[in-house]
Amino acid sequence: MKTLRRAPRVLGMTGAGAALLLLAGCNPESAKPTINPSWAVAMFQYDGPADAWFEAAVSDAPGRVDILGAVHVPDYLTNSEQRQCRDGVHREVIEPCSDYREFPNTDRRRVDLDAPGSYWPMVLLHPGDQFQVIVYCLQDGTTTTCPATTTVHVQTVDVSGELVGDIKPITKWGPA
């Protein structure tokens, strides 16, 4: 899945540039989330040269779908850094993340109304950060179990919107 605003640059690459992109790692990345009765979660790690925004999208989940993004802060008892998030309605608005210190997170974002293949910016990451996307599937205003077909897509971008770094799915918090 590519974002609509980046597709021309990616599709315009040929030859060695495209091969280098393939060898550089996975960005964007996709994963099947762990399905729970009232939500699903997919976890990832960002490895890149500098801070980057992680952006997320969901596919193959019918009906209303909300997501929120969170970064894991393992040293939250001693780390008082206020993390930056993107607003759930206006993608250009940067605001402080929630005050849940171990998992600073965004507001919920309704993604089923977004154009297919588009990503929504979530949280500013530092190199080595681990993060998660939580998916809520709803029918008639009630949270339901997301189908097994649900897929979470993430990518990391620099401040100019260019893909940066490598993303890998993880199954637990902590060192790889």
What single letter denotes the amino acid at residue 21?
L
Q: Give yes or no for residue 50 having a pLDDT over 70.
A: yes
Q: Give yes or no for residue 21 having a pLDDT over 70.
A: no
Tokens of 108: 């919920």
Q: Give yes or no for residue 101 having a pLDDT over 80.
A: yes
Q: What is the mean pLDDT of residues 59-82?
A: 93
Alpha helices in the chain (DSSP H): 7-11, 15-23
Determine the pLDDT at residue 111.
93
Q: pLDDT class for 4, splitting at 50, 70, 90?
A: very low
Q: What angle do CA 11, 12, 17 make, to 5 degrees?
A: 100
Determine the pLDDT at residue 48.
95
Q: Report in angstroms the alpha-carbon separations of 87 from 103, 107, 168.
A: 17, 7, 25
Q: Give yes or no for residue 162 having a pLDDT over 80.
A: yes
Q: What is the pTM of this model?
A: 0.83
Strands 109-110 and 120-125: unpaired
